[in-house]
Every structure is written in structure tokens, then in C-alpha cells.
Structure 1
Amino acid sequence: MSKTTVRPMIEVALLATIAYILDLVTQPLSLGPWISLSFKMVPIFLLSFRWGVRAGAMGGFIWGLLQVVTGEAAGGWLTPIQGFLEYFVAFSLIGLSGIVKPTLDKAIRDKKRVQTLTYITVGVVLGGFARYLIHYIAGVIFWGSYAPEGQSAYLYSLIVNSSSFIGETIASLIVFFILQEFLGRLLITEQ
């Protein structure tokens, strides 16, 4: 195994574990009754921006796996299909943010700050949306019976999942925008 394949694997394991720990120990910052800022997806976005879609998907998968094997997913696991969708598929799809890696790397190398932040934003929105689309679908199918009386499962799932999507997207973007001066050192890898 070459050095170029070991380093991404180590980072996948490390950043997936950091995402899991952030999920356990941080409390979301509330922006009202429905939207909370949470930074737990940042390590998976970082992984995707550094190494691409495959590494990001592996990191998300491991994060979901850690939740399952440690029992953290127990309260959110209704059926095997629902659990698989929400803990393995949804978390893996965060890795889609890595689609922007080639253009992001070029923007960083060319020192084009606005383009860099634009690609970061596109990646974060894409990866976060892909994850929450799966949660929305699972919400309609599996969690719809928990909707308040008179509210459709579609609206209930949209409210619950879009508020999480918005909060986690905003929080992740805040982190990357704050770190914009260091993005070259954080995101460019010599493969």
C-alpha cells in the first residue's frame, strides 16, 4: 500500500470519528424553536473537499456506523430499511460535496477567494441537501405517523428535516468562511 492511499484512509477514520464526537458532545446553538446551528458535518465536508467524493462518502458511512454500533442511533432506528437509509445512505451522501474538489482546488491555487467560497457553498449545500433528502423521504415513509393530528406526513417531514438542513448548512458555511485564510493549507493535498 502506498503512502498516497494510506493518508486519505487515516484521515477518513480520524475525521469520521471527530464528526461522531462533535455529534455527541456539542449542543446546537438555537436560532428559535425550529432551527439550530450544528457543526457536526464540518469534518465530513473537510474530508470531501480534501480527498473527493469517495473519501467523503466513506467518512460519512463510518460516522453513521459509529452511531449504530455505539447505540447512539437506537432511538432513531425503527426498521432495518429506515435505519440503513438514515444512518448509512444519508450520511454517506454528505460525500457528494466532494464533487467540487477539482474546481475548488483550482480556485484556491489561483487565489480566487470569491470562487473558492462559492465552490465551498455549492459543496456544503449539495452534500447537506443530499443527506437531508434521504431523511425527508424516510420521514414521510417511516416517521409520518408522528405528525401532529391534521398535518400531512409530507409537511411534517419537510418542517423537521428542512430546519435541520438549514441549521447545519449555515453552521458549516460559517466555519469555512471563518477559515477562508487557511483554506489553501487545509484543503489542498499533494496526492
Structure 2
Amino acid sequence: MSKSNSRVLILVEIAVIAAFAMALEYVPHKTGISSIEMSYGVIPITVLALRRGPGAGMAAGLTWGVLDIMLIGFGEGSVLNPIQGFLEYPIAFAVAGLGGLLYGRFQAALKAGKNREALGLAWGAGLIGVLAKYFCHFLAGWVFWGSYAPKGTPAWLYSLVINGGSAVATGILTVIVVSVLMTTVKKPLFEPKDGGQLLSQH
């Protein structure tokens, strides 16, 4: 496959994954605990980041964030001001693809047949994406949503509890689903035939 065709294929994958992540936002994702919810879209973003590298993962995350703020964020009143909106949507959703930083080691482990190492790296990638995303939400919760904290509760602690709980729930789910995918559809899902990544220099 030529470089141009490979790049087009990657862009298509980015668009499909972003749309899929956005569609998952409409699936019930509350944990039963007030304000704590799971972000299912981190899972397909992690898969793409491991398949195509951090550039593709973050591009899909950014697209997802833009879709989310337009289709849900504005309508639900979740955007208080431009800075908070930018931090909690385009930025937070884009950094969910940072798990792609492990792309090189992950692909090398797959090619070498080191399945346990590859699985560990996949877990690491998922958790990096989750932590990066929810760190942005934690900052926004501390700075912009602090007035919603119960009386006597510091804004930073309120944000840490809410966003930390969501991060833990999302992280556990991501690790479980990625583990299942690694043991069932590993090759077609994580190993593209063209072997390309969005920001490849080769």
C-alpha cells in the first residue's frame, strides 16, 4: 500500500473511531453514585492509539471532544466559559489518546510474540489515556466548578473525589475490555496490515 493510501486509511479510521466514541456517549454510563460516570469512548481511542500511534489517537480524541461539546456539552449547560469548555472537551478528549506513546513498544512486543508484555503495555496505554483525560477534568472541577462543592468541602477535594471516582471506574472498565480484545481479536484490531501511523517519518 502506498504512503498516500495508508494515510487516507488512517484518516478514515480516525473519523470512524471518533464517531464510535461519540455514539458511546449515548449509552447509559452512570455508576449509580452521584456525578461519577464512565467514559466508554476512551476504549476505542486507546485501541486506535495502540494501532496507529499517539498522533492518530489524539486526533480521534480531539474530534470526539469537538463532537461532544457541540452535541451534548452546550445543550446540557456543561460549558461555563471558553477556557473551561476548551479544557474539558477538545483538550481533555484529545489527551485520552496519549496512550499511543507506548505504540512503538507495544507493536514490537506483538511482532515478537511477547503477549504478556503487549497486554501490560495495552493496560498502561489505557490508564495513561484515562489519567490524562481526568486530570483535565480535575483541574476544571477545581477551578471552575468549585462553587458546586458541598458547604465546607474544599473545591480541590470535591473535584478529586468526583473525577477520581470517574477515573477509577473508567480505568477498570478500559483494562477489562482491552484485555478481552487482546485475547479475542488481537491481530486484526491492533496490527494494521500496512503498519503505518499518522505521524510516521518513514
**TM-score, reference length from structure 2:** 0.88
Q: What value does the CA root-mean-square deviation take over the aligned residues?
A: 1.7
Structure-to-structure mapping, 1:63-142, within 5 angstroms: 63-70=64-71, 72-74=72-74, 75-142=77-144
Distance change >3 Å, CA 34–CA 142, structure 1 → 2: closer
Match of 2:52 in 1: 51
Match of 2:158?
A: 156
Query: Deviations along 1:108-156, whole A, 9 cap, x unmatched?
Result: 1122221011101111111111111111111110001100000000100
Q: Describe the shift of the 1:15–1:122 C-alpha distance in structure 2 as closer, same or farther (beyond 3 A).
A: same
Question: 2:28 — aligned with what?
Answer: 27
Letter in 1 for 2:187: G
Once residues 189 and 32 of structure 2 are traced to their aligned partners in structure 1, the CA distance between those partners, rounded to angstroms, is: 29
Any conservation in 2 of the 1:44–1:60 contact (CA below 8 Å)? yes
Q: Is the CA contact 1:27–1:38 (under 8 Å) kept in the aligned structure 2?
A: no
What 5-or-longer segments of structure 1 have no aligned partner? Answer: none
Residue-pair matches, total:
189
Instruction: Return the match for 1:187 from 172, 183, 190.
Output: 190
| Cα contact 2:38–2:167 (8 A) shared by 1 | no
Distance 1:159 1:64 in 2: 23
- What CA deviation, in whole Å up to 9, does each residue of 1:36-57 have, x standing for no partner? 5552211111111111111111
* 1:144 corresponds to 2:146: yes
Aligned sequence identity (%):
34
How far residue 81 of structure 1 moved from its aligned partner, in angstroms, is 0.4
Q: 1:168 aligns with which of 149, 167, 170?
A: 170
Q: Which runs of 4+ in 1 moved over 6 A?
A: none
In structure 2, the gaps of 5 or more residues are: 197-202
Greater helix content: 1
Q: 1:17: which partner in 2?
A: 19
8 Å CA contact 1:104–1:119 kept in 2: the answer is yes
Q: After superposition, give the CA deviation of every residue in 1:161-188 in whole Å (9 maximum; x if it has no partner).
A: 0111111111111111112222222111
Q: Name the SS for the 2:25 alignment partner.
A: helix
What SS does the aligned partner of 1:97 have? helix
| 1:29–1:38 contact (8 Å) kept in structure 2 | no
- Please tell me the residue identity of whatever aligns with 2:138: Y
